[in-house]
Amino acid sequence: VRFPFRFRIGRAMASAAAGASPARVAVVQMTSVGDVDANYATCSRLTKEAAASGVKFLCFPEVFSFIGSKDGEAMKLAEPLDGPIMQRYCSLAKESSMWLSLGGFQEKGPDDSHQYNTHVLIDDTGKVRSSYRKIHLFDVDVPGNMVYKESRFTAAGDTIVAVDSPFGRLGLTVCYDLRFPELYQILRFKHQAQVLLVPSAFTKITGEAHWEILLRARAIETQCYVIAAAQAGKHNEKRESYGDSIIIDPWGTVIARLPDRLSTGFAVADLDLSKVEAVRTRMPISEHRKFDSDWKPTPL
């Protein structure tokens, strides 16, 4: 058990963090295509390779299991979380004794014309532990690219999800959520998240401009680890994603990364939850926060 700051942060926290080891995690980068079996083969290979490197928790990007080239194509494949596609990933987790974060699964939606964009967390026994439906939908006119309208086929979620794991308390989010800091503030200050997950399929243009900056800002302002798995490269004639999967520590330092030019692989880091507590103890922003109700009304 690696635990250098035990005495500084107190007994209760020490045992919580000690229970959290080992904490070797990895972030995947991949180029999903319009073929469920081919994408599963890639995920399965990466999971087995990661297991061989001692990884206990592997994080995949949004739309890991399918990226179609035609509008609404993914809708036809949408399944409930106990359907055959997710069952295959549950077996993979069990066989490899690996926790899996599967960001952006096409979950069967509330009606025949909408799916959910769901981040699914599977434990090392192959059980679905938790799931989060993307709240912020990407209806955006990307300069120099195209107009995205995710809400045409996707229904938004309405529930914030944080869940305990051997790797700390995880906050589940997806892709475009990253631009809405209030979600991450709630995960940290209301739900005590320690590790934020941001599986993504960022566009090339917005990713180059904003990806790393937004992720490091979320890590710094929440004092959490951030694990952000990215789709990378060309999925079909029309669609390309910005790679650069990263893991960031609660001080904002990038501790693992896969550059955009590497399309498929994973990068490993050891999470040390005592670092989260050390950063929070020395810079107690949770005690310094102010709220609307703390201010005097603005004089008119």
Ligand X SMILES: O=C(O)CNC(=O)[C@H](CS)NC(=O)CCC(=O)C(=O)O
How far apart, in whole angstroms, are the C-alpha atoms of residue 23 and residue 272?
A: 7
Q: Label residue 76 exposed, middle or buried (CB < 10 Å: 0-12, 13-18, 19+).
A: exposed
Residue closest to 221 by CA, chosen among 178, 270, 273, 163: 178
According to the binding rule CB under 6 A, does residue 184 interact with ligand X?
Answer: no
How far apart, in whole angstroms, are the C-alpha atoms of residue 200 and residue 63?
A: 8
Helices (H), the chain: 6-9, 11-18, 36-52, 84-96, 181-189, 204-222, 273-282, 285-288
According to the binding rule CB under 6 A, does residue 206 interact with ligand X?
Answer: yes
Instruction: Return the exposure string of 199-227: e unless at least 16 CB atoms fall within 10 Å of the residue's CB, then b.
Output: bbbbbbebbeeebbebbbbbbbebbbbbb
- Residue 59 or 273 with smaller CB distance to ligand X: 59
According to the binding rule CB under 6 A, does residue 173 interact with ligand X?
Answer: no
According to the binding rule CB under 6 A, does residue 245 interact with ligand X?
Answer: no
62 tagged catalytic: yes
- Residue 57 or 138 with smaller CB distance to ligand X: 138
Within 10 Å of residue 117's Cβ, how many Cβ atoms? 29
94 tagged catalytic: no
How far apart, in whole angstroms, are the C-alpha atoms of residue 269 and residue 54?
A: 11
User: Catalytic pick from 56, 59, 107, 134?
Assistant: 134
Among 203, 222, 223, 245, binds ligand X (CB under 6 A): 203
According to the binding rule CB under 6 A, does residue 175 interact with ligand X?
Answer: yes
Q: 């004089």: which residue's tokens?
A: 299
- Residue 90 or 198 with smaller CB distance to ligand X: 198
Encoded one letter per residue, x for contact with ligand X by CB under 6 A and - for no contact, window 29-68 reads ---------------------------------xx---x-
Q: Which helix (H) or strand (E) holds 193?
A: none
Rounded to the nearest whole angstrom, what is the least distance from the CB of residue 29 to ligand X in the complex?
A: 15
User: Catalytic pick from 62, 107, 240, 277?
Assistant: 62
| Binding positions for ligand X, 79-118, rule CB under 6 A | 104, 117
Rounded to the nearest whole angstrom, what is the least distance from the CB of residue 257 to ligand X in the complex?
A: 18
Which region, judged by CB under 6 A, interacts with ligand X, from 8-16, 17-25, 174-182, 184-192?
174-182
According to the binding rule CB under 6 A, does residue 138 interact with ligand X?
Answer: yes
According to the binding rule CB under 6 A, does residue 251 interact with ligand X?
Answer: no
User: Could you give the C-alpha distances from 127 to 67, 93, 130, 286, in angstroms and in order?
Assistant: 25, 8, 9, 34
Do the Cβ atoms of 134 and 154 come closer than 8 Å? yes
Rounded to the nearest whole angstrom, what is the least distance from the CB of residue 254 to ligand X in the complex?
A: 19
90 tagged catalytic: no
Q: State phi, psi for 23 to the nearest 5 degrees.
A: -130, 45
- Residue 77 or 262 with smaller CB distance to ligand X: 77
Q: Which residues are catalytic?
A: 62, 134, 175
Contacts to ligand X by CB under 6 A: 62-63, 67, 104, 117, 138, 148, 150, 175-176, 179, 201-203, 206
